[in-house]
Amino acid sequence: MQDIHSYDFNGKRALIRVDFNVPLDKETLEVTDNTRIRAAVPTIKHILDNGGSVVIMSHLGRPKDASEPKFSLKNIVEHTSNVLGVEIKFGGDCIGNEALEMSANLKPGEVMMLENVRYYKQETTGTESFAETLAKHGDVYVNDAFGTAHRAHASTTVVAKFFPNDKMFGFLIEGEIKSADKVLNSNEKPLTAIVGGAKVSSKITIIERLLDKVDNLIVGGGMAYTFVKANGGKVGNSLVEDDYLEMATRILNDAKAKGVNLYIPVDTVIADAFNNDANRKEVVIGEIPDGWMGLDVGSETAKECSDIISNSRLILWNGPMGVFEMENFQDGTVAVANSIVDATSKGAFSLIGGGDSVAAINKFNLADKVSYVSTGGGAMLEYLEGKELPGIKAIRG
């Protein structure tokens, strides 16, 4: 594995896997959110500034094949050229002769973009011969697509084997890995994780792993009510996964045994319908009347969580405290976001890692006031769970 900071790109063609799976306007096919394009700019610019040329490779959406032009990367070539400030040539295909000829003749400072790799089913099946053809586009392979690093696809993983001595991470993946490792592996204390979101079933693995790492684990969102019920509380119509009650009890016991302060809400904002305009009131946790459901944490919980978070040195946030998409049930999530900002301003390191907490921090316009906002939802969750991501292993070896 090479290091992008020290690698000599002079005269080299860099084949870069980026995640340009950006949303497009249904009618005009214009890019409506270019966050992912902007995230790849530092890596592309670095290579160009160091005398290399760049072949951009990505997927867009889930096309069945090339018969679906709305998924063509051609739709984003002009927009990407404008963001980058460099004209980008379009390869027309990702493995055809025309594209191969174009990449073979790229001069230093030039950039081209290949067609959607998912126009070929060999991409997702990770077919080696397809990856081998893709590899012909570059002298060096750079993976900067964190959002797809958990997929063993041809362009994210298999292609790396054709660059045994010339493969590396781009700045984006490097930043994601460093941030996650900093939270999980540095010895600063206290380390607080806030895990929320809809279902406990999708967060079990991360919770179990975090119990070995954190000082405080705050559980919020819909998943909290499974813990409340497991403790014998009344949860009314709140979201509960009855199959996970035993698991919740086990986690509560494990936390105690491991000396982790596992914090379950003490009060909750309840509603008589899943609707922003529903009747609502605040009650003590475990006393939710029939016909009512908990859609946010209560004010006492928000205050106690804020105290814990504001005094933390390392913070990981995955999943909202309530249905933050509805204004009347966003206060708990706002309180968590604000206290993470507060802790960060006092020198803590904060990672907003995966789940809808990324959407929440963006909604509250606080993304630039925390240490790192992950770009890879599923990939970040898997990395935090301790799984080996194929795209990362392919580079590290």
- Whether 397 is a known active-site residue: answer no
Hey, what are 248's tokens?
């919740």
- Specify the residue, 222 or 233, whose C-beta has the smaller distance to ligand AMP: 222
Local structure of residue 26 (DSSP, 8 states) = T
CA dist 372 and 180 (Å) reads: 9
- Whether 196 is a known active-site residue: answer no
Yes or no: say if 311 and 338 are a contact pair by the CB < 8 Å rule: no
Shortest-Cβ-distance residue relative to ligand AMP: 197
- Specify the residue, 29 or 204, whose C-beta has the smaller distance to ligand AMP: 204
The phi and psi torsions of 127 (rounded to 5 degrees) equal -65, 130
CA dist 363 and 61 (Å) reads: 24
CA dist 270 and 298 (Å) reads: 9
Long-range contacts of 33-39 (CB under 8 A, 24+ apart): 34/79, 34/83, 35/375, 36/147, 36/375, 37/76, 37/79, 37/80, 37/83, 38/83, 39/172, 39/375
At closest approach, how far in Å is the CB of 110 from ligand AMP? Answer: 40
- Specify the residue, 131 or 295, whose C-beta has the smaller distance to ligand AMP: 295
- Whether 353 is a known active-site residue: answer no
- Specify the residue, 91 or 353, whose C-beta has the smaller distance to ligand AMP: 353
The radius of gyration of the chain's CA atoms, rounded to the nearest angstrom, is 23
- Specify the residue, 72 or 238, whose C-beta has the smaller distance to ligand AMP: 238
At closest approach, how far in Å is the CB of 253 from ligand AMP? Answer: 24
- Whether 378 is a known active-site residue: answer yes
Q: Which residues bind ligand AMP (CB under 6 A)?
A: 197-198, 202, 221-222, 239, 294-295, 319-320, 322-323, 325, 355-356
74-84 vs 35-49: helix axis angle to the nearest 10?
A: 60
**How far lies 211's CA from each of 98, 106, 259, in Å?**
53, 51, 9
At closest approach, how far in Å is the CB of 193 from ligand AMP? Answer: 13
At closest approach, how far in Å is the CB of 221 from ligand AMP? Answer: 4
At closest approach, how far in Å is the CB of 304 from ligand AMP? Answer: 18
Q: Considering 322, 355, 376, 391, which one is annotated as catalytic?
A: 355
CA dist 57 and 94 (Å) reads: 8
Q: Considering 199, 209, 234, 303, which one is annotated as catalytic?
A: 199
The residues that are catalytic are 36, 199, 355, 378
